[in-house]
Chains A and B, each alone.
Chain A
Amino acid sequence: MSLDYIAAQVFNGLASGAYYALLALGLSIIFGTLRVINFSHGAMYMLGAFGAYYGAQVIGLPFWAALIVIPIAVGIFGMVLEWFVLRRVAQNDPIYGLLLTFAITLVIVNVMTLLAGTLGSPYAIPDALSGATNLGFTYFPTYKLFVIAVSLGVCIAAWLVIDRSLLGARIRASIEAPALVRAFGVDTPRLVTITFGIGVAIAALAGVLAAPTTNVLPTMGDEIIIYTFAIVVIGGLGSITGSIVAGFLLGLLQAIGAVYYPPIATTLIFIVMVLIIWMRPSGLLGRPESTR
């Protein structure tokens, strides 16, 4: 196997890891603040992709604009959902949040199936990003490089915001000690809603990025959601950096695994997850606090 091939595979892995990282990031942010496992995260990803499609169909929205507009639109939808629906089970066991988002997913996917059918909706790679780039050791699809770049950019930006900004500090504080934060006068409910919106928006961004290269189907979020859960657990529940790192890492691992022993590629993520929970339950970068 040539170095070319392996190098290209590494980039393939990074490209699929880019999606995992974005999705895991969003899920992690939501879990950290709301303590809710957002089962509808995959559906939000799907809505992002469909948003790009319908945007193009109905108002001729170009890809570049879709990258900004659609995540904001889906983010707002998410905030509405959180404010009017999810909030009602916030005081209860987090299990109810999980179940409620599970039910919401059923509804959203069915609605999209009725609207869009199951044959797939087309979305083309924008001309400027089509074709392949010469990386020196191999040619690689330009669009995939773009995806890696955007994902890295967003992940780093998210990390910076959470680590350095006031909003980030508040988010981190309410992850650690929600009651205290409220005592300090921070409008926690609003913070929670905004955070949910951000998490969902990031998922939608991943969806927009996926639309040109993946079949845009109502069920496209279905498969990816359980991988996302696994990655968040591997990275460490509540650790933003952990989710990002785990996302890219697992993408890489899957691509390399596909080269040497294909049947294991999709199960690999679960096997790694089981091993991590067994040996280091707080995940790669998580805090060893509440693993019980």
Chain B
Amino acid sequence: MSARTVLFALVAIAALILPRVIYPILAMDILCFALLALALDLLFGFAGLLSFGQAMFLGGSAYTTAILVQDYHLDGALAIVAAVLYATLLALAVGMIVVRRSGIYFAMITLAIAQIEYFAAINWSNITGGENGLPMTTRGTLFGLSVSNDVAFYYVVFVAVAICFWLVVRVTNSPFGTVLSAIRQNETRAVALGYRVNRYKLGAFVIAGALSGLAGAFYALANRLAGLEMCDWHTSGAVVMMTVLGGSGTIVGPAIGAAVYELLNYFVSSTALGRETDLVIGLVFAFCILAFRQGIAGGVLSIPWRKTST
């Protein structure tokens, strides 16, 4: 039993009891951000592509879900499918522009496109509610069943997110995943070996986009709300923080990072240190980068757990 499996198991157990320990909606937020960070990890930790615009998928699919459920009274399942479809198509369109570049250009262009979506969300306020956002009066139904019970819905989201994590493990262990790693380590060599590098990058970007879209759909349903802050570049930045904090390239890391960030954000602001919340988050993050770059999961996993025989 490897250290990674143990860590996964621990995280899974923590996730299972989470809604009993903290407020269920906050728990669902953690799941959604874990999924977002996972998507980013696939891009950044494995393919070496830093996207600074994941908020475009979170925001766009959240709005799609909220509009379909609130204004058109669609079943949640349909809304989720539509939202993921939106995210996937957006990722395809954006990806085709973006994958020809890498490094800082990749980051900047994803940031710019996310900003364009942000401005669109503000300007088309008769659809999106502008800066007031779109509150939903109900969570609607999922496959015809009511999901208004927060704890019950949490476990639905948990199952979906767990499946996504499993999927990503499979993808990264597949030949596709191996090529992605190769691209991250030495893109020129991968090209020289004959791989159609851009296709792989596009594939990773689209998968990440779809996962982020799913996260956005659940986020809107969990909070009964779609808002402008979901498209904001600070949210993209927060997702990057979560991934790096948790440990990029570890898959389980993003889940840990998301939990740490969300809990800090929620609970520090409720204490006497409320006005210093950003300060605390910034210091924690800075400390993490300076002290152990592999993030929490990376650090834990690098401890030699097994006693090697001499």
Q: Which residues of A contact B (CB under 8 A)?
A: 37, 85, 88-89, 92, 94-96, 98-100, 102-107, 109-111, 113-114, 226, 229-230, 233, 237, 263, 266-267, 270-271, 273-274, 277-278, 281, 290-292
Contacts and interface: CB of A to CB of B under 8 A. Distances in A.
A274 B282 contact: no
Contact of A274 (B113, B283, B289): B113
Contact of B105 (A85, A105, A233): A233
Given A85-B290, A273-B112, A237 B102 contact: no
Given A85-B290, A96-B293, A271 B116 contact: yes
A110 B293 contact: no
B11 interface: no
B195 to A, nearest CB: 14
- Give chain B's interface secondary structure class: helix
A271 B105 CA distance: 14
Contacts of A233: 105, 108
8 contacts: A88-B290, A102-B241, A103-B241, A107-B286, A226-B233, A267-B119, A271-B116, A281-B100
Given A98-B107, A106-B281, A267-B119, 16 more contacts: A95-B50, A102-B241, A102-B285, A107-B283, A110-B275, A110-B276, A230-B108, A237-B105, A273-B109, A274-B97, A274-B113, A277-B101, A277-B108, A281-B100, A291-B101, A292-B102
B123 interface: yes
A105 B279 CA distance: 9
B105 A281 contact: yes
Given A229-B108, A281-B101, A114 B290 contact: no
- Give chain A's interface secondary structure class: helix
Interface residues of B, number: 38
Interface of B: 44, 50, 97, 100-105, 107-109, 111-113, 115-116, 119, 123, 187, 233, 237, 240-241, 244, 275-279, 281-283, 285-286, 289-290, 293
A14 B4 CA distance: 56
B112 A107 contact: no
B279 A107 contact: yes
Contacts of B281: 106
A226 B285 contact: no
A292 B101 contact: yes
A114 B273 CA distance: 11
B112 A274 contact: yes
